[in-house]
Amino acid sequence: MSQPIADLTLITTKTLAHYDERAAEFWEGTRDHDVRQNIDAFLRHIHGAPPFCILDFGCGPGRDLAAFRTLGHEAVGLEGSPRLAAMAREHSGCEVWEQDFLALSLPAGGFDGIFANASLFHVPCRELPRVLRELHAALEPDGVLFTSNPRGSNEEGWNRGRYGAYHDLEAWRAFLEAAGFSELEYYYRPPGLPLEQQPWLASVWRKNPASAER
């Protein structure tokens, strides 16, 4: 169901306020999460020799941003919450752009890869095609997009003070393919558990240059 502009503003305002108010708690609760599986899946698909130019989309307080820098890559963060953006700069030493996911300003062809770990599910379905096209445009030819989102049955709405859209694999594929991406791989997380105990859907995509920015 489409949201009017006023509702989109409310979605952004309330969701970012939720993270601002809980920034320290969020850092403590996520700083030790092991996402090496995601980072490895992302990096192994990027063509060329490192270091890579990476955008950590929705970098939060900077855990993964710091990991990319430690690995020698040129990483830039993007975060909508002012408090989380400040923490990310402190924890990673990287540049962090403070931008609303629904009002992006990204350089064309600026990145070898975009790492969107637990972030794109906050984009309402109505706006997701546009946001994905903007990420597509921000990648170099053959650039790579990584996504990881809590999966669901394509429901959308408020969940404990945050707005989220919870896609299944088929729906997520349709959005990414329509935006000009080709699937490289997908898997469910955490690893080593039965499917019903794996709430996260991770996937890796390559920019299809032939689809360029329509």
Distance separating alpha carbons of residues 109 and 21, to the nearest angstrom: 34
Mean pLDDT over the full length of the chain: 93
Q: State which fold the 5-211 domain adopts.
A: Rossmann fold (3.40.50)
| Relative orientation angle of helices 23-30 and 82-92, to the nearest 10 degrees | 50
The whole-model pTM stands at: 0.93
Poorest-pLDDT segment among 19-33, 153-167, 196-210: 19-33
> Mean pLDDT throughout 16-24?
89
Task: Give the pLDDT confidence score for residue 81 in this predicted structure.
Answer: 95
CA nearest 19: which of 114, 94, 107, 98? Answer: 98
- The CA-based angle 120-123-124, given to 5 degrees, is 145
Distance separating alpha carbons of residues 172 and 136, to the nearest angstrom: 15
Task: Give the pLDDT confidence score for residue 27 in this predicted structure.
Answer: 66
State how far Cα 212 lies from the chain centre: 21
The amino acid at 1? M
